[in-house]
Amino acid sequence: METILTVCAIIVTLAFVALVVQAVLTLQQVRHTARAVEYLALNADGKLTALDPVIGAVKGVSSAVSNGWFRVAKAVYGLFSKE
């Protein structure tokens, strides 16, 4: 009986050590990922402001479409879809 308890204690100890090793490796990866996200956040500000003219152009095109041809197409569709 004492041998079984010793074997179980050794197995539990090995499992706990494996858990600790895996936790340490996971925390190291989390730390590395956090550093990468911080670097990205600090450097993304300048790059995102460079996209402002593109975003303005897309807004202009979408408003022109929704104000012009899109309304005409909806009206024509409305005429033919009513039964």
How many domains in the chain? 2
- Look at residue 79 in the predicted model and tell me its pLDDT: 74
- Look at residue 44 in the predicted model and tell me its pLDDT: 78
Nearest 5°: the CA angle 17, 26, 22 is 20
Predicted TM-score (pTM) of the model is 0.50
Domain that holds residue 23: 1-50
The verdict on 64 and 34 lying in the same domain is no
CA distances from 14 to 28, 33, 53, 54, 56 (A): 21, 29, 59, 58, 60
Residues 45 and 69: their CA atoms lie apart, in Å, by: 36
- Look at residue 18 in the predicted model and tell me its pLDDT: 97
SS3 of 51, please?
A: coil
The verdict on 57 and 46 lying in the same domain is no
More reliable by pLDDT, 9 or 68: 9
Task: Express each pLDDT in 19-77 by its tens digit.
Answer: 999 999 999 999 999 999 988 888 877 777 777 777 887 887 777 766 766 677 777 77
The verdict on 31 and 66 lying in the same domain is no
Residues 3 and 15: their CA atoms lie apart, in Å, by: 18
